[in-house]
Amino acid sequence: MSNFVDYVKIHCKSGHGGAGSAHLRREKYIPKGGPDGGDGGRGGHVIMKGNANEWTLLPLRYTRHVKAERGENGGKNQLTGAYGADVYIEVPIGTIAKNEDGEIIGEILEDGQEIILMEGGMGGKGNEHFKSSTNQTPRFAQPGMDGQEGYVTFELKILADVGLVGFPNAGKSTLLSSVSAAKPKIADYAFTTLTPNLGIVDYRNYKSFVMADIPGIIEGAAEGKGLGHRFLRHIERNSILLFLIPADSEDHFQEFKILENELKEYNPELLDKDFIVSVSKSDLLDDELKKEIAAEFPENKQPLFFSGVTGEGLMELKDAIWKQLHG
């Protein structure tokens, strides 16, 4: 079973508000003591909190229900009841929470960020609030309000500097393993990568950037074919996109256009991102073949050639990525 989980659904319930108190003063030297009841405490919230040390929703996979504490009832001497304890659901940066109607409640973009998913019920007011000229000693108080309840869906979109885009067997996993310490599964069959992999790529002068190996696209992915939307949503959060076209492709530029079209069909805004076109497995090519392939592409989309196996062109590729990220 994969340890990368990017989708979970949890039933959440915030705390019920505490009831107000209807206490009346009963003191020896105050024969006509009036209302003395305090307000009930607010019920606990259910809160989503960003945690930079988490990178998957796996810890939440078997969490079916989350319930916050009830607020305490108000007390005498107009004491307000204690608030119910809030419940925190820690999630990776890049997590989006949606309600049962599919509407976005909020998204976590930084470590420590908090978003209330379900608000705790308000505490009821004590009888002190209901005192009037015609009712000096109200013997009633307000009950606490119910907390919110419902299902919340959590979706994780990988945050990375550069996302690898290509068909299965384009060489994405080989590239990631060549330039980082990540060890993705590599094999000669489609969809070797079933879940995203992240790697820290070392660059010049102790600099670095994050690269994401995303499951391969197939034609029709925007309509849900193959792994469909599951991987396309991860591409949304990458700063730049690196298109990988394998050297042994039958039509390099056409393959690029298919990939580009799948992104456009899913979300046209993806084409506004900066991108780099590359040809992987270039150890299979001689200089003449490289020129022929480059001639297939327009001037503004000239590909970079590299080989994750031999290391050819990797430094030039990292230079181009760094320039795009910080140029």
- Write out the binding residues for GTP: 166-173, 191-195, 213-216, 280-283, 307-309
| Binding site, annotated residues for Mg(2+) | 173, 193
222: Cβ–Cβ under 8 A, 6 or more apart, which residues?
Answer: 228, 229, 232, 262, 263, 264, 265, 266
Q: Which two tokens stand for residue 227?
A: 């792994």
* Closest C-alpha among 172, 245, 263, 248 to residue 211: 172
| 201 in Cβ contact with 212 (< 8 Å) | no
SS3 224: coil
CA pair distance 312, 139, nearest whole angstrom: 85
- β-strand pairing of 208-213 with 160-165: parallel
Distances (CA, A) of 153 to 61, 62, 138: 11, 13, 45
Q: Where are the beta strands (DSSP E) in the chain?
A: 7-13, 46-50, 65-67, 87-91, 95-98, 104-107, 114-118, 149-156, 160-165, 197-202, 208-213, 238-246, 274-280, 304-305
Distances (CA, A) of 209 to 195, 318, 322: 20, 9, 8
| Binding site, annotated residues | 166-173, 191-195, 213-216, 280-283, 307-309
In the sheet where 208-213 sits, what is the strand order? Answer: 197-202, 208-213, 160-165, 238-246, 274-280, 304-305
* Closest C-alpha among 243, 230, 239 to residue 325: 239
Amino acid at 42: R
